[in-house]
Structure 1
Amino acid sequence: MLETMECSQDEKTGVPTWLERMFAASKFYGACEDGCLKPAKYYCTVCMIIVCEDRMEQDHKSRGHSILTAYKSSGVAALRIEDLQQVWDWTGIQQYTINRRPIVYVNQKGGIHRSGSPNGDAKCKTCQYKILAPSNFCSVECKVKAVLEKIEERKAEALNQARRKLEMTDSESPSDAPAKIAAGKSFRKRPRKQSNPRRSPLF
């Protein structure tokens, strides 16, 4: 379940900070920070931490923070598409179903010893895990990595274009050059001193 959270179009198509930091936090369904036995399956998008139900209710929901709930599917954390689509563009991620609700997995599924379904006719563009076309990614994490990489490439290209433009400006001669000075013409304000000064007449 997702508590109401407004999100701009730029945040939906890019990678909002809370989503980028989700993968730096502790894993879903791990031990909660306060040491309780309840699974940590709630993510506060304001504080950007994963917490258990008790801490979510006391410290986050009570303050009006936006909360994402992770569900377990085949022992792996997943998010409901109906929740995620309100705050981020999930398209391109392999979709699954749990309790008749469409979901997407949170963490990267591919690895050295995991190649995905033998029936997969496509591969995740990030980790090469086998998925079904026309999907491009196996998980939210893999799409986030791909989007961040694309953003960095665009920044680098913009910086290179700015540098090339500056170099071209420096190398070009001025288009409006001053008129050529006529040969032999002097612009002295005062006449030159006489080479042979005349003596004053004697009286």
Structure 2
Amino acid sequence: MERPEDEMTGSVPTWLERMFAASKFYDPCDCKDRCSKPAKYYCMACMIVVCEDGMEQHHKSSGHSILTAYKSSGVAAFRIEDLKQVWCWSGIQRYTINRRAIVYVNQKGGAHRTGSSNGDAKCGTCQYKILAPNNFCSVECKVKAVLKKIEVKEEEEALNRAKRKLETTDSESPSDAPKNVAAGVSFRKRPRKQSNPQRAPLF
């Protein structure tokens, strides 16, 4: 399990990055039994969203780590006490549900969604209004921001490597003119013409 890192300085574990490509929380479970129970459990080992039956039968019994999503205002949220064990949630706007601190899973901003009118800051990813000093409205928005920062850093490192390689190549290339040539030394291959050329004999 990856250790939580400071805000915007760590990496995004694979299970968390792939979570947003999986089925949505609280959609009908897509397990082989085709049950109608909501999928609210995320298996961090298999990287899929499952219902309670699937979690108990195939994942929890195998010792896989499970993250539970709870419903708040109709959308999925993680309890901070659960999330902080596996990833650093700092910088995300926190809320309270049933006296427990939570953070929302998915991006909240978008068309016609600007957040609370009391918000004095904006999410750095989707511009949803939040309270300072928070930087993100959801786990998804922070994940996107961290991945973007990693991508930019990798591009800068690649560019710097290319520049260093070019500078090394230039410094090792031979000069156009020979250096440290002794005075009076000639490198002419063909001899100069005679100062008093002789005529060829007539026959």
Q: Return the TM-score normalized by structure 1.
A: 0.82
Partner of 2:36: 37
Residue 8 of structure 1 and its aligned partner are, at CA, apart by: 2.8
Cross-structure match for 1:72: 71
- Counterpart mapping for 1:183-198 below 5 A: 184=185
1:100-115 counterparts in 2 under 5 A? 100-115=99-114
> Deviation of residue 172 (structure 1)?
2.3
Residues 9 and 116 of structure 1: CA distance in aligned 2, closer, same or farther (over 3 Å): closer
Q: How does 1:17-166 map to 2 (within 5 A)?
A: 17-34=14-31, 35-166=34-165
Q: CA RMSD in A?
A: 2.3
Q: Structure 1 stretches of 5 or more lacking a match?
A: 1-5, 187-203
In 2, Cα distance between equivalents of 1:173 and 1:60: 59
The alpha-carbon deviation at position 171 of structure 1 amounts to 1.9
Relative to 1, partners in 2 of residues 1:9 and 1:101: Cα closer, same or farther, differing over 3 Å?
closer
User: Partners of 2:6 and 2:132 in 1: how far apart?
Assistant: 26
Large movers: runs of 4+ above 3 Å: 9-12, 178-186
**Which range moves more in the overlay, 165-174 or 140-149?**
165-174
The amino acid across from 1:113 in the alignment is H
Q: In the TM superposition, what whole-angstrom CA distance separates every residue of 1:135-165 from its partner, at most 9, and x where no partner exists? A: 0000000000000000000000000100111
State the aligned residue count. 181
| Contact persistence 1:11–1:88 (CA under 8 A) | no
Q: Displacement, 1:37? A: 1.6
Once residues 11 and 133 of structure 1 are traced to their aligned partners in structure 2, the CA distance between those partners, rounded to angstroms, is 18
Measure, in 1, the Cα distance between the counterparts of 2:123 and 2:150.
19
User: 2: distance between equivalents of 1:37 and 1:131?
Assistant: 35
Distance apart, 1:168 and its partner CA:
1.3
One-letter amino acid of the structure 2 residue matched with residue 41 of structure 1: K
What SS does the aligned partner of 1:68 have? strand
